Structure 1
Amino acid sequence: MVGRIHPDDIAEVRERARIDDIIGTYVTLKKAGGGSQKGLCPFHDEKTPSFQVTPSRGFFYCFGCGEGGDVITFLQKIDNLSFTEAVERLADKTGIQLRYTEDDPGVRAERGQRMRILEANAAAAEWFAAQLRGPEALQARQFLDQRGFDRAAAERFGVGYAPRGGRELGTYLRGKGFSEPDLQAAGLVRNKGWDFFNGRLLWPIRDSGSSVLGFGGRRLYDDDRLPAKYINTPETPVYKKSHVLYGLDLARQAIGKQSQAVVVEGYTDVMAAHLSGVETAVASCGTAFGDDHARVLQRLMGNHDSFHGEVIFTFDGDAAGQKAALKVFSGDKNFISQTYVAIEPTGLDPCDLRLQHGPAAVRELVARRIPLYRFVMGNVIAGFDLDRAEGRTAAMRAAAPLVSSIRDVSLVNGYARELAGMIGLDVEEVRREVGRAASRHTEPAPEPAEEHERPPELSLLPDPTDRALSVERGTCQLLVQQPELFSPSWEELQGSDFTHPAYAALFSAVKATDATGRGGEDWLVRLRTHLGEGPAAAALEHLIASLAVQPLLSTPDQKYVQAYAAKLRLLSTVRAIADLKSKLQRTNPVDQQTAYNQMFADLLVLENRRKDLQARSVGIDS
């Protein structure tokens, strides 16, 4: 295959690309003991973290959905990349110059389209930013200046300008070696060769890892043939508007540290918020904030506890803002964190607020946030005539379901009391109505972890919680994590000591890998090369990943490994004794004297072995 990456370079990428750093751009990880870190799985929805990363071994594994592997596997799965694309992206991040087994000019053409699109977007972002400094971009610079953004601010956010000529970008990128199909696939060029963006102020939209996914463009000229004030990159293999958030690359770390995300409505609002000290601000791009956006923020906040952290939406105080808040309320179940709204009474957005009243006013806007429930409740009540008894009763009945749906039950009584005060009714009457609403309110039970869609090969794996297999699993865990502590004979272990086929197959792979050297930083990489092909091999890859990230019960040494292996062999010996005793009971000592005597002698040998192994396994609990 033309352009195959040199194996030594792949090994160097695995070694230098820290898996916790890479995964940390998608998921907030917290220490979990034993050198491991935990977070909310990015591959399935969950509220309790079952996703585990062990940096020392370079592996991740989710005990909820079964996804697992190394840093290359993670990028392949999370961004839908080929193996080559994932390695190339990691090489770019770590500064590794990749070598290809055949240095052919066509190597670039052989790379995956997604990687080529990202490269084209990155080149376009640099070119757009350079155009902003040119004479034609005067009106674009004036637009920024009028909104309080100087050159330093524009450079910080990578703001650029698309010239009015209509073909300049395409000409530039073709000269850099990008093909016409790739430029069209990236949404940078239209079918007939015209640039997608013309005469527009541009903001690059990046993912949490700072890769440019697309652009958002603002209208500058009255004679622009496209009447829309804002246009965005069309849907591409890398740009999905329901998944991307502008400013996520800048806000990611602050969101994780502060367990807070501030959702504003536009590009300039994000800029104003960050420049005002609100470093957790992001905005949706060309679409309303939705479920997928919520899941992205939830993972970054790492909300392991039900009511930890907060998402704050900034809305105008007008009818449109109220409508937007109600829409967010309908999707609030997607957040583990508490949800708030920050309303500016004068109707100013964060950009105008900073411009007219300074950065402190933006920070105060966020600080004045109120719970989403309270805001929505006030809007519902506002539709009734509270001067009339029937109006107050109707308002209570309309608002009671909102109070009953509050996830934090400790707040329900407080909100019932607040509702009673707002509409002028007795608090006990309101509480009764809230109770009736709660009894009518039925919410589907959360989907159990085992019902999440799991890779089909996982059906071949043993249950990690099966107590009958705990010693086999613990032994395999030591074989994966600490192979150098075993004796040259692997403590006399045999494949038959493992009752589950997956554990037995893993042991066979361990012995085969031993021929190329035991242990070392590349032990797991070499181990995976001895798994074969097909569903069984894929299942063993999952098994290795789960064993690699699972913390050991005790700090292992050679004595501990010997005792653990003795425990496994003891269980195997006990099974052999039971089988032999069963045969003896079915053997006539008179008619089959020779066979009977041989089995009896074998039984004595097994009993002596059992006593020896029992003594050597002291201190190991099954």
Structure 2
Amino acid sequence: MAGRIRDEDIALVRERVRIDEVIEQHVTLRNAGGGSRKGLCPFHDEKSPSFNVTPSRGMYYCFGCGAGGDAFTFLQEVEGITFTEAVERLAGRVGVQLRYVDGAAGPRRDPNQRARLVEANRVAAAYFVDQLTASSDARTGRQFLTDRGFDRAAAETFGVGFAPRGGEALLAHLRAAGFSDDELLKAGLVAQGSRGSYDRFRGRLIWPIRDVSGDVVGFGARRLFDDDRIEAKYLNTPETPIYKKSQVLYGVDLARRPISRASQAVVVEGYTDVMACHEAGVTTAIATCGTAFGTEHARILRRLMLDHDEFRGEVIFTFDGDEAGQNAAMRAFEGDQQFVAQTYVAVEPAGLDPCDLRLQQGDASVRELIAKRVPLYRFVLANVARKYDLDRADQRVDATAEAARLVAAIRDRSKVEAFAREIASTIGVDVEDVRAHIRAAGQRGSAPAPQRERAEVPPDAPSLGDERFADERELLQAVVQYPHVAADRVEGLDVDDFTHPVARAVWELIEKNPPLPSSESAWVPGLRDAAADDATRRVLAALATQPLRTNGDVEATLMSALVARLQELTTRRRIEELKSRLQRTNPVDEATEYNRMFGELVALEQQRRTLRERAVGTTT
């Protein structure tokens, strides 16, 4: 496998790609003046557009939810792909031949491969749908859907199809459509046997599996006939260049916007459960595809729910009430810290899954099941309590210790006290004993998972958007948006002229990475790459896209005025500090020091007046 893509090639792709053309594949943009474009944010539900794109600086930023970045970031977020995949995809679009650090020339995969495999899956999906309605063998599949309460409209919504029982029907259809056997093997649509290629899915009901953008990347196939030589009830597409089961969620293409709008995701266990939930009005339902819910799935949901550093949204798991369901709940709880969300569990008392529940009791029963969710920790706590004989003192101690370990892992520290009281009530012990066990569990626990680096901003620090930082913010906006003007107008500006920690971090980045006239359009995205923390990256995206308070383009005189204004504020702070020291200095006993500071004060006052004249006089 080739190594890391060379930095100069990444920069070349960034320079050649038009970010608005990339984004317009997902968002309708309109001109907003000043070279900017605006549309409805794809990352959260909104009625008034707050999603801004600035093509000249290659950046986007949403003033509603804070999402921002460059073309690579957008593809990563909206399509759930890696940075490398985003670069390779855009490189193919703008005709850049990528090179890798280890010296291997060319892309690690054919840049057109994804498009071909996606197209093969699309054609196959359409073929399966036709077969479900046209084939006499598909009668069993149609009956399967009917028996589970799904009509033809539901089947069409989810693209359910049927794979012919013969071994080469799909293969022949796709060959006729111009696909090679090698492409079909790579897509997982056919398999290779001693007698050649043959259809992977035969005589099965088929569900297309789509990624976030709606592309068909794989299939799930349900066994229908007793003579099916593969006994597994469900058969999924194997791992392919475009299908990674740890990175796909069935139904996410339909659930994406409802998840974003409601900040809620319902994780069920199968294709028919997803269909049942959606048909019942629970349109945030999704499912994993032949694997347990894991880290990559959590990342997808975190993106869809815009779950960054705050506790928002909820993930609801549906489990059977049996031992397997309880074990699944424990696995989910152990992975709960992978994403910031309130995690719940919905278990039907009789052990019915959503599909059977809807079939037996109707749509309302599915909605009620989700509405009656309980916190996952409470479900797990109940399971812990059942393991012990709580009439015995030693068993209560053991139960308390195990429950405390669960609470010690909960990320929302504000809820720990309430959880401690609930443990005490459930197990029948004093709340102080529970608190002691929680403290001990926290001290014995493993080191916390590494968090994303961020600027050293105190928890109670004001936002850079606060009015008191308006001058710092506007100067940085001017520099970021008009680097060619700032080049020889910010001399003498120092990091100490900025008081907000993120503003200081941005200025230090600018000092270390000055813009080059030949690549100004790629400069801000390059600054984002060089930033050490998420706070600085988000602020850079906002600075690059938010209009300045001053109307029109920034010219040299205005840039000088903005610099002078910031330096004047710094001088004022120094004057106030010096006045305070003078008040504490005895002019008789410390005459020399007093006179020195007084002279410095006079000089600073003169400097302040000069800066004030530059700041005010040049802007009128």
**TM-score by structure 2 length?**
0.69
Pick from 339, 348, 371 the counterpart of residue 344 of structure 1: 348
Deviation at 1:25, TM superposition (A): 12
Whole-Å separation in 2 of the counterparts to 1:111 and 1:560 = 41
Pick from 258, 278, 282 the counterpart of residue 274 of structure 1: 278
Match of 1:213 in 2: 217
Match of 1:40 in 2: none
Pick from 370, 375, 381 the counterpart of residue 366 of structure 1: 370
Matches of residues 559-598 of structure 1 in structure 2 within 5 Å? 561-567=555-561
Deviation at 1:396, TM superposition (A): 1.8
Match of 1:106 in 2: none
Q: Is residue 333 of structure 1 aligned with residue 340 of structure 2?
A: no
The answer on whether the counterparts of 2:337 and 2:410 sit within 8 Å (CA) in structure 1 is no
Deviation at 1:77, TM superposition (A): 5.6
Matches of residues 76-225 of structure 1 in structure 2 within 5 Å? 79-80=85-86, 81-83=88-90, 112-134=112-134, 135-191=136-192, 192-225=196-229
Match of 1:618 in 2: 616
Q: Is residue 28 of structure 1 aligned with residue 43 of structure 2?
A: yes
What is the DSSP-based 3-state SS (H/G/I as helix, E as strand, rest coil) of the residue aligned with 2:166? coil
Pick from 416, 437, 440 the counterpart of residue 436 of structure 1: 440
Deviation at 1:61, TM superposition (A): 7.4
Q: 1:368 to 1:564 in 2, by over 3 A?
A: same
Match of 1:476 in 2: 479
Q: 1:448 to 1:364 in 2, by over 3 A?
A: closer
Letter in 2 for 1:441: G
Match of 1:47 in 2: none
Whole-Å separation in 2 of the counterparts to 1:559 and 1:66 = 23
Matches of residues 449-468 of structure 1 in structure 2 within 5 Å? 449=453
The answer on whether the counterparts of 1:563 and 1:617 sit within 8 Å (CA) in structure 2 is no
Q: 1:57 to 1:272 in 2, by over 3 A?
A: farther
Match of 1:68 in 2: 70
The alignment covers a number of residue pairs equal to: 499
What is the DSSP-based 3-state SS (H/G/I as helix, E as strand, rest coil) of the residue aligned with 1:288? coil
Match of 1:606 in 2: none
Match of 2:460 in 1: none
Q: 1:373 to 1:503 in 2, by over 3 A?
A: closer
Deviation at 1:305, TM superposition (A): 5.6
The answer on whether the counterparts of 1:18 and 1:55 sit within 8 Å (CA) in structure 2 is no
Pick from 395, 398, 401 the counterpart of residue 397 of structure 1: 401
Pick from 218, 230, 241 the counterpart of residue 234 of structure 2: 230
Whole-Å separation in 2 of the counterparts to 1:371 and 1:55 = 45
Deviation at 1:166, TM superposition (A): 1.2
Whole-Å separation in 2 of the counterparts to 1:332 and 1:545 = 26
Deviations 1:22-77 (A, max 9, x none): x999973488x9x865xxxxxxxxxxxxxx96699762379x99963379876786
Match of 1:557 in 2: 551
The answer on whether the counterparts of 1:61 and 1:68 sit within 8 Å (CA) in structure 2 is no
- Between stretches 539-548 and 557-566, larger displacement belongs to 539-548
The answer on whether the counterparts of 1:13 and 1:87 sit within 8 Å (CA) in structure 2 is no
Q: 1:619 to 1:236 in 2, by over 3 A?
A: farther
Whole-Å separation in 1 of the counterparts to 2:512 and 2:338 = 37
Whole-Å separation in 2 of the counterparts to 1:548 and 1:350 = 42
Query: Structure 1: where are the runs of 5+ without partners?
Result: 1-6, 38-51, 89-108, 452-466, 484-489, 511-526, 575-609
Whole-Å separation in 2 of the counterparts to 1:236 and 1:366 = 34
The answer on whether the counterparts of 2:320 and 2:326 sit within 8 Å (CA) in structure 1 is yes
Letter in 1 for 2:518: A
Deviation at 1:230, TM superposition (A): 0.5
The answer on whether the counterparts of 1:68 and 1:542 sit within 8 Å (CA) in structure 2 is no
- Between stretches 422-431 and 538-547, larger displacement belongs to 538-547
Matches of residues 5-20 of structure 1 in structure 2 within 5 Å? 13=21, 16-17=24-25
Whole-Å separation in 1 of the counterparts to 2:265 and 2:126 = 28
Whole-Å separation in 2 of the counterparts to 1:55 and 1:496 = 25
The answer on whether the counterparts of 1:36 and 1:55 sit within 8 Å (CA) in structure 2 is no
What is the DSSP-based 3-state SS (H/G/I as helix, E as strand, rest coil) of the residue aligned with 2:423? helix
Deviation at 1:170, TM superposition (A): 1.2
CA RMSD of aligned residues (A): 4.6
Q: 1:266 to 1:15 in 2, by over 3 A?
A: closer
Deviations 1:418-454 (A, max 9, x none): 2222222233333333333334335426434269xxx
Q: Is residue 509 of structure 1 aligned with residue 518 of structure 2?
A: yes
Q: Is residue 320 of structure 1 aligned with residue 327 of structure 2?
A: no
Match of 2:297 in 1: 293
Deviation at 1:183, TM superposition (A): 1.0
**TM-score by structure 1 length?**
0.69
Q: 1:55 to 1:231 in 2, by over 3 A?
A: farther
What is the DSSP-based 3-state SS (H/G/I as helix, E as strand, rest coil) of the residue aligned with 1:216? strand
Q: 1:267 to 1:619 in 2, by over 3 A?
A: farther
- Between stretches 354-363 and 77-86, larger displacement belongs to 77-86
What is the DSSP-based 3-state SS (H/G/I as helix, E as strand, rest coil) of the residue aligned with 2:219? strand
What is the DSSP-based 3-state SS (H/G/I as helix, E as strand, rest coil) of the residue aligned with 2:162? strand
The answer on whether the counterparts of 1:131 and 1:162 sit within 8 Å (CA) in structure 2 is yes
Q: 1:273 to 1:497 in 2, by over 3 A?
A: same
Q: 1:13 to 1:449 in 2, by over 3 A?
A: same
Whole-Å separation in 1 of the counterparts to 2:311 and 2:181 = 50
Whole-Å separation in 1 of the counterparts to 2:384 and 2:233 = 32
The answer on whether the counterparts of 1:392 and 1:424 sit within 8 Å (CA) in structure 2 is yes
What is the DSSP-based 3-state SS (H/G/I as helix, E as strand, rest coil) of the residue aligned with 2:245? coil
Whole-Å separation in 1 of the counterparts to 2:327 and 2:41 = 31
- Between stretches 539-548 and 400-409, larger displacement belongs to 539-548
Whole-Å separation in 2 of the counterparts to 1:428 and 1:504 = 57
Match of 1:461 in 2: none
Letter in 2 for 1:127: Y
Whole-Å separation in 2 of the counterparts to 1:450 and 1:194 = 52
Whole-Å separation in 2 of the counterparts to 1:423 and 1:10 = 61
Letter in 2 for 1:402: L
Letter in 2 for 1:615: E
The answer on whether the counterparts of 1:264 and 1:281 sit within 8 Å (CA) in structure 2 is yes
Q: 1:269 to 1:558 in 2, by over 3 A?
A: closer
Match of 1:459 in 2: none
Whole-Å separation in 2 of the counterparts to 1:351 and 1:36 = 39
Letter in 1 for 2:479: C
- Between stretches 12-21 and 121-130, larger displacement belongs to 12-21
Deviation at 1:470, TM superposition (A): 8.6
Deviation at 1:237, TM superposition (A): 0.9
What is the DSSP-based 3-state SS (H/G/I as helix, E as strand, rest coil) of the residue aligned with 1:351? helix
Deviation at 1:479, TM superposition (A): 1.8
Whole-Å separation in 2 of the counterparts to 1:24 and 1:249 = 20
What is the DSSP-based 3-state SS (H/G/I as helix, E as strand, rest coil) of the residue aligned with 2:197? coil
Q: 1:138 to 1:441 in 2, by over 3 A?
A: same
Match of 1:464 in 2: none
Deviation at 1:277, TM superposition (A): 0.6
